[in-house]
């Protein structure tokens, strides 16, 4: 694996993302509450630009009982949702929320001397 410089930490503020092209791959790099993530920008479903989609906590629903509404709440896992068809992937592992056999490639992100690197 090779470490590739993406940018200085000041260039990727909290809540922002940056799409970069590296070795023929489109990769999204995210700063979520001060933690950095990187994932392929190509959704395995139909090739959509997944890294331009919504980022947030997974939405969970609990069955409460027959004739009652389900109880919805947000789970602890951070997910990335493809804007084309809504496929959701765990930001840390890349695993699809509905089918664990499907995954989005994710990359290790490190910060050294205020520079953000990913391993490809």
Q: Identify the pLDDT of residue 56.
A: 93
Q: Identify the pLDDT of residue 66.
A: 79
Q: Return the CATH fold of 3-54+82-119.
A: Rieske Iron-sulfur Protein (2.102.10)
| Structure-token match 């490190």, residue found | 110
Cα–Cα distance between 94 and 66 in angstroms, integer?
A: 34
Cα–Cα distance between 51 and 3 in angstroms, integer?
A: 20
Q: Identify the pLDDT of residue 25.
A: 94
pLDDT at 9 over 80: yes
> Are the C-beta atoms of residues 77 and 116 closer than 8 Å to each other?
no
CA dihedral for 28, 104, 95, 109, sign (positive or negative): negative
Q: How far is CA 22 from the centre of its chain?
A: 17
The pairing of strands 115-119 and 109-112 is antiparallel
Q: What is the pLDDT of residues 32-72, one digit of tens each?
A: 999 999 999 999 999 999 999 999 998 888 887 777 778 88
Does residue 75 or residue 38 have the better pLDDT?
38
């Amino acid at each position: 694996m090779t470490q590739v410089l993406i940018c200085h930490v000041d260039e990727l503020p909290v809540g922002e993302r940056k799409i970069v092209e590296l070795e023929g791959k489109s990769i999204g790099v995210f700063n979520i509450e001060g933690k950095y993530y990187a994932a392929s920008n190509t959704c395995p479903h139909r090739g959509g630009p997944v890294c331009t989609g919504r980022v947030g906590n997974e939405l969970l629903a609990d069955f409460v009982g027959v004739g009652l509404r389900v109880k919805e709440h947000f789970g602890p896992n951070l997910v990335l949702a493809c804007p084309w068809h809504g496929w959701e992937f765990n930001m840390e592992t890349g695993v699809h929320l509905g089918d664990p056999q499907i995954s989005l490639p994710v990359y290790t992100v490190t910060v050294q001397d205020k520079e953000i690197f990913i391993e490809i």
